[in-house]
């Protein structure tokens, strides 16, 4: 298992990469057909919520004491996987 600081840094890097990709998709979506905008905006809001949840979990892990941070890692992994999964699904729907 990675030490806490290494894990937090890894998670932050992954979140930063996904947020950049979301921004890129959002820019493409603004040029998309107006019929798709309602679904697109709704899904983009869900992605932003997943990103916020992953960021919050990362902060919890970062701030946790030595005795608790490892227990939070499993939760962090689940949140991160849900975010990545949602992003990949969204991306596949709006290509």
pLDDT of residue 94: 63
Alpha helices by DSSP H, listed for the chain, are: 4-30, 37-63, 69-93
Buried b / exposed e across 6-40, counting CB within 10 Å, b at 16+?
A: ebbeebeeebeebbeebeebeeebeeeeeeeeeeb
Report the distance separating Cα 83 and Cα 21, nearest Å. Answer: 12
Residue tagged 């902060």 (tokens): 59
pLDDT of residue 85: 85
> Cβ–Cβ contacts within 10 Å for residue 89, how many?
13
pLDDT of residue 53: 85
Domain ranges of the chain: 4-93
* pLDDT cut 90: percent of the chain above it: 0
């Amino acid at each position: 298992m990675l030490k806490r600081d290494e894990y937090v840094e890894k998670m932050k890097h992954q979140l930063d990469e996904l947020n950049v990709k979301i921004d890129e998709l959002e820019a493409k979506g603004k040029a998309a057909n107006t019929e798709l905008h309602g679904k697109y905006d709704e899904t983009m809001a869900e992605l932003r919520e997943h990103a916020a949840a992953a960021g919050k979990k990362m902060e919890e892990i970062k701030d946790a004491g030595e005795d608790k941070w490892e227990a939070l890692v499993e939760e962090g992994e689940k949140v991160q996987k849900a975010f990545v999964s949602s992003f990949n699904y969204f991306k596949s729907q709006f290509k």
